Structure 1
Amino acid sequence: MESKVSEGGLNVTLTIRLLMHGKEVGSIIGKKGETVKKMREESGARINISEGNCPERIVTITGPTDAIFKAFAMIAYKFEEDIINCMSNSPATSKPPVTLRLVVPASQCGSLIGKGGSKIKEIRESTGAQVQVAGDMLPNSTERAVTISGTPDAIIQCVKQICVVMLESPPKGATIPYRPKPASTPVIFAGGQAYTIQGQYAIPHPDQLTKLHQLAMQQTPFPPLGQTNPAFPGEKLPLHSSDEAQNLMGQSSGLDASTPASTHELTIPNDLIGCIIGRQGTKINEIRQMSGAQIKIANATEGSSERQITITGTPANISLAQYLINARLTSEVTGMGAL
């Protein structure tokens, strides 16, 4: 096709891949596929959603840059609408940002970050969106997740700038695309007991290797990884992918003085507390900064196999902190794989 300069870069055909969770995909598809059909018709972009029983799906958007920007705008506004609907019966006053995850060939990420982080800083400052490039490649691929958070308008401007960078710096070498794996039931060990992850809970697993331990230990089920979310009553927080905790950029640190602080407590097995704290406290500090919540981890109690985590902040701060802690736990659990 003939190239011409348009807003956001050359008006050439581009393909952008998005990584979404099942609930997000359901929102994009809509009842009987009506929402995605409308998005295709109004944007002029081709929107394809990967098949399979996977906790994550790939949404591929292809078309001229103008059509891609329209499709992104519709997706961003749909996600904002979902957030508003979730908050309608909630005491939370601060609205979480809209978050999208792009899947970008690792060979293009250097250009996106820029020398000393100059390019990504420029994109953040000029658009008002938070942009985070994952340090690790997605499993079995040469692609990385790029997480964008902010208002729909900020996200659209951010995507435009990312598209320009991708056009100016094509991928080098062959790209192995990320393909989400079907939902599996990984087995983990905690306190000498094996557990399988089923939905949001870890269920004791009758593995031959743990039968001797079971004779000596009381079989207590793992606490649910998805705790009740105070900002979205009646909903449990889903388990999230390994990149989510590392990529998601939340609100600024500190409690919002206009909203009364509340407290929520979680119980985490000692075996998994390390993945929440991170080396020299890097992960817990990251979660504190992203969520804006105060997070205290109780000291280990002799004879107890669990640790208490106390989260203090606004309902929105607490929700984001829980979300990020869940994502760290999921990263640790799925990283071990099935034994």
Structure 2
Amino acid sequence: ADTGKGGLNVTLTIRLLMHGKVQHPTERKGETVKKMREDSGARINISEGNCPERIVTITGPTDAIFKAFAMIAYKFEEDIINSMSNSPATSKPPVTLRLVVPASQCGSLIGKGGSKIKEMRESTGAQVQVAGDMLPNSTERAVTISGAPEAIIQCVKQICVVMLESPPKGATIPYRPKPASTPVIFSGGQFIDAIHSLNVSNSIFCPLSFLPSFCLLCPAAGLDASNQASTHELTIPNDLIGCIIGRQGTKINEIRQMSGAQIKIANAMEGSSERQITITGTPANISLAQYLINARSELTGC
């Protein structure tokens, strides 16, 4: 593939996975996503439905895709900076995007012995993680990219090159988010898998948030973004605890690292079918840890 000054003169489709949907009274209908379409030249479509997860599909020549990702990444960073203006937090969290990639291409992204993914991390400065499990009822896996906008853009370019050089093998069953059976409320403050203020059909997407009054990043929310540590407890059925802990504790350690929260899992009580989990940290830490635990517990065949 031609990766020179002219870029890759091919058409490609990249899928993003986002969480949360809220309606924001101060946003004009479709404004942000419309501007992204016009400025990048890429086709940007957002899946419909009453789902806690939404798929954003970006299609076009690779240079248009790169422009769209640049706009998205810088929009994330802008919202992070705005959210910190009323917060005592001093360290800026990284921008995080999650791609949805056919599982048959993930081996090429990782490379032999992890060589390719290591090369991407070192050359771009972005953190890249390929999920070990396929997304439910699909043959796709999530690829999480985290870092500064410039690092994310360079990383996306390298991922596009790999995907073009190693096309999917066999039929791909795309991941389709399921409608929420019950509403789940998370507070915001951590940017993961969401495009805040990317609005369409009179709705926008907000990090880990389903109601505007619980979004720490929405100016209209009127919610005090307290960073004082607190403790939250939840119970998980015994048959799901293995999915959350992972082999030799790998999954629970990932959740601790990503959320920044302290997480303790109580020992099994005789006669009880549930285990208690205690989460300690800021409200944002706790909310992110809850989300990640819930996501692990919903996986099948883990």
TM beyond 0.5: yes
Cα deviation 1:152-185 (Å, max 9, x = unaligned): 11100000000110111111111121111222x2
Alignment of 1:175-324 (within 5 A): 175-183=172-180, 185=181, 198-200=182-184, 226=186, 238=209, 263-269=229-235, 271=237, 274=241, 276-297=244-265, 307=276, 309=278, 311=280, 315=282, 319-320=284-285, 322-324=287-289
Query: How many Å apart are 1:55 and its aligned residue?
Result: 1.2
Q: Check whether the contact 1:288–1:321 (CA below 8 A) recurs between aligned residues.
A: no
TM-score (norm 1): 0.68
Give the direction of change, closer, same or farther, for the CA distance of 1:334–1:285 in structure 2 (3 Å limit): closer
- RCO greater where, 1 or 2, for CA within 8 Å and sep 6 or more? 2
Once the two structures are aligned, what percentage of the paired residues are identical? 73
Query: How many Å apart are 1:42 and its aligned residue?
Result: 0.8
Distance 1:303 1:137 in 2: 34
| SS of match in other structure, 2:163 | helix
Cα deviation 1:240-265 (Å, max 9, x = unaligned): xxxxxxxxxxxxxxxxxxxxx96321
| SS of match in other structure, 1:32 | coil
In the alignment, structure 2 segments of 5+ residues that lack a partner are 192-205, 211-226
Q: Check whether the contact 1:90–1:231 (CA below 8 A) recurs between aligned residues.
A: no
| SS of match in other structure, 1:179 | coil
2:153 to 156, 168, 173: 156
Letter in 2 for 1:12: V
Give the direction of change, closer, same or farther, for the CA distance of 1:6–1:82 in structure 2 (3 Å limit): same
| SS of match in other structure, 1:309 | strand
Aligned residues: 266
Give the direction of change, closer, same or farther, for the CA distance of 1:7–1:175 in structure 2 (3 Å limit): farther
Distance 2:9 2:66 in 1: 11
Alignment of 1:78-93 (within 5 A): 78-93=75-90
Give the direction of change, closer, same or farther, for the CA distance of 1:289–1:75 in structure 2 (3 Å limit): same
Q: Give the equivalent residue in structure 2 for 1:221.
A: none
Q: Check whether the contact 1:87–1:231 (CA below 8 A) recurs between aligned residues.
A: no
In the alignment, structure 1 segments of 5+ residues that lack a partner are 186-197, 202-225, 240-260
1:20 to 4, 18, 21: 18
Letter in 1 for 2:110: I
Q: Larger Cα Rg: Structure 1 or Structure 2?
A: 1
TM-score (norm 2): 0.75
Q: Check whether the contact 1:9–1:160 (CA below 8 A) recurs between aligned residues.
A: no
| SS of match in other structure, 1:182 | coil
2:105 to 85, 91, 108: 108
Query: How many Å apart are 1:280 and its aligned residue?
Result: 3.8
Q: Check whether the contact 2:58–2:65 (CA below 8 A) recurs between aligned residues.
A: yes
Q: Which structure carries more helix by proportion? A: 1
1:95 to 87, 92, 96: 92
Letter in 1 for 2:161: V
Distance 1:231 1:46 in 2: 27
Q: Check whether the contact 1:107–1:172 (CA below 8 A) recurs between aligned residues.
A: yes
Distance 1:143 1:230 in 2: 28
